[in-house]
Amino acid sequence: MADAAFISDRGNVFDVVFREFGFTCMQIVPQAFGSPFCQPTKLLIVPSGFADPKYYKILPALERNREKIARFIENGGIVLAFGAMWDGYEYDWLPMKLKYKMQFKTRNVRLIDQGSPAALLVEPGERDCDGYFTEHDGDTVMALDDGRPVLVYKKYGKGRIVASALHEYPSKRFVEWACSGEREPLTI
């Protein structure tokens, strides 16, 4: 069992950050994702650039396991999905409406919903953004100065979806919330 799972075919860029915070983050290769070899976890991280095969080759695994991902969230799991880095991408493997526009740039980010647990992800201010969301059926937590959402939060069953177009590692406070000892690890 790991606190968090990172789906990747290119190594685990989150391992050091999570260990520094006192948590574990295992890498799941796409071939094992959704299989009996996939250990239970509390938080699933989908990296920036997941939709573009020049960065990762994980999109088929996400699409193939959309029902398992929905069940994981519905039963209490948390998914942290970063920017697709593919213009006009729709996150159809998530149980929510979410569409993304790619536009990499450092931008000022404003906090819209201070009470949302997703607000723990990063501090507002000048942040690297790889885009923004053009459509969603969740709550906007952070937005650009012009109002375009860059951090979206949605409750789904007992779980949560956090969609981020912020190109930043999660804060310790976010990891502590998402990987809390009160959360049960679940199978994907």
At 97 the pLDDT is 98
Per residue in 5-27, pLDDT (tens digit) is 999 999 898 999 999 999 999 99
Q: How many residues does the chain have?
A: 188
CATH says 4-178 is which class? Answer: alpha beta
Task: Give me the pLDDT at residue 166, please.
Answer: 97
Indicate the Cα dihedral angle 117, 120, 121, 123, nearest 10°. 140
* Residues of the chain predicted below pLDDT 50: none
User: Residue 126: its pLDDT value, please?
Assistant: 97
State residue 163's pLDDT score. Answer: 98
Per-residue model confidence (pLDDT) at position 139:
98
How much is the pLDDT for 37? 86
CA 185 from centre of chain: 17
Q: How many CB atoms lie within 10 A of CB 75?
A: 13
Kindly list the domain boundaries of the chain, sorted by start residue: 4-178
Token pair in block for residue 52: 């573009």
pLDDT at position 136 is: 98
Rounded Cα distance between 104 and 124, Å, is 17
Cβ-proximal residues to 101 (8 Å cutoff; 6+ apart), any chain: 87, 88, 131, 132, 133, 134
